[in-house]
Structure 1
Amino acid sequence: MSQEQEAAGVGLQVSADIAERKLSGPERAAVLLLALGEEYGRPIWEGLDDIEVRQVSSAMASLGPITPAMLEELFVDFLKRLSTNGALTGNVDVTERLLNSFLPGERVELIMEEIRGPAGRNMWEKLSNVPESVLANYLKNEYPQTIAVVLSKIQPEHSARVLALLNDELALEVVHRMLKMESIQKDILRKVEQTLRIEFMSNLSQTSRRDSHEIMAEIFNNFDRQTEVRFLSSLEEDNRESAERIRNLMFTFEDLLKLDAASCQTLLRNVEKDKLALALKGANEIAMEFFTSNMSQRAAKMLQEDMEALGPVRLREVDEAQSAMVAKAKELATSGDIEINKKKGEDDLVY
């Protein structure tokens, strides 16, 4: 028997020893990329995110031998999925390429920014850009160890804000877990990342979208007074409900704390004493100090007595009284009796 025949015989024996098996999703991707090679596979690798690269790379490293039959089955299935009669798969990159084919680049960028959700090169950077209230609301239902892993990987200042929003018992347990934590095993970290990506990030853009009325209220806040009145009046004719929602969002009870001393004193003179006591019943110490500092000592003492005399009050009644104060402030601003500073600190004076 020649050397070539012997080698062929050995090859046949090896192929026979390879067991046919079903491939997992990452393994199928790994086989396909191996078959495509460096030149044709590069565009696909470049389109994967960090988690997907790690999943496929890990599968590729432990793949072992693949039989011709397994490879043929994979290619046939792949071609079926590409055909018009087969299944189509939509993802972020496909969507962006399609939009770029018929929409201006700036518009596509805005659309994709909303779809993708928080910015960041990897999962932990993205989580650091998620509002702490949203992240805390998700994590409160997770195991303390999972929370500890997440908070140990994101920015410390963000971790602190999230931790402060958890209930005391859970937060303390998380702190203990973080103190005892040493190095995190790669497979555990990978599972946490995958869970966050599937269960949290994929739904985040839907759950965290800002209310359109809130966005419009911020825009209206930057109009001059005449433009603001003109637009609100026109909007009110078409959609009174939306106009009222925007008007309420434009100026809140907390915004009253931005009034200058003269405007605050004018407002206090125009608010009924019982309404003022009710409104301040639900105010924090900063608000109380602001308003009482613009009263005489005698008036401040009488206000305190009126508030104590009220006893327990319904939250709804407090909200209504505060809304009445806001409405009065708007009314006085419209008549020119007071000046409302809507800027968020840029034009504030520092003494």
Structure 2
Amino acid sequence: MITASSITGLQKAAILLLALGSENSAPLFGQLHEDELKDISIAMARLGRIPAEIVETVCSEFSKGLGEGEVLVGSFDSTERLLSNILPLIRVSQIMEEIRGPIGRTMWEKLENVSDVVLAKYLKNEYPQTVAVILNKIKPEQSSRVLALLPEEFALDIMIRMLKSGQTSKDVLLNIEQTLRQEFVSNISRNFSQDRHEQIANIFNNFDSRLEKTFMSALDHKTPTDAERVRALMFTFEDISHLPENYVSILLSKIDRSMLSLALKGASEELKHCFLNAMSDRAGRLLVEEISSMGPVRLKDVEAAKASIIEIAKNLANEGDIELISNLSENEMLE
């Protein structure tokens, strides 16, 4: 909570405008530069509950009519109501989206705070020329990471357009910014939620089987809906059986044969056949012989071999050589 000793000048201005109300504060808002208006709007939305003594201290010259127990509440809703009496609704919507969305003063700065994966997923469905304009506007290091996540031919087309594009007109930039606000930024919170589930799924992927069962059981008990989503997003060793044969072949080229034999000890027949189908007859026979002659092995060693192969698969996916498919059903993957 704000105290008299910690309050900033920007917060004092926000409190004063809230205390004055929309009618009295309208002329003051009209004199502010857009950046100042945005700064005060952000400060106002983040005020929270302001004690009466703070209000009286900041607004001493306007303290008549403020009772001793009266407090003000600065929130997104109160800020939006106040702005709605001063500015056009479309401008209010833009300001509130920027306040609520990722940190950044402009749309392009906001994009810098968006996950590369989320941004790439959105851009891959846009026109190449639009993507070229967007990637020209954000920082080169972010553009490079996003391009690396896009399909190769699409990314190459975008780079050629970036090379050949001249100066983009202001109208085109405004139109793209408006589209980003309406179609992308408004859905970021849902994407962030998805990212959190993916992050936890990746953590589970790095647990050994004992820890995975322990924590998944606890997650099932505490929040079953989240547990179901995390489980669906996890990529497990058995999920390799869902990969196309050419992907399995690429994976095989990176795996040590002894590691594969150990990982397949006790694996399902479906998964064994998946690897065997991607190998030559001779290599397949040797693999089967190695697994059969291995004898008893420690579960800990098998889990370590599986984890190593999963890590190799993830690295190949990050480099764009393969695409991982988890245990999501076809309908779930399309959502």
TM-score, normalization by structure 2: 0.44
TM-score, normalization by structure 1: 0.42
Q: Which has the larger radius of gyration?
A: 1
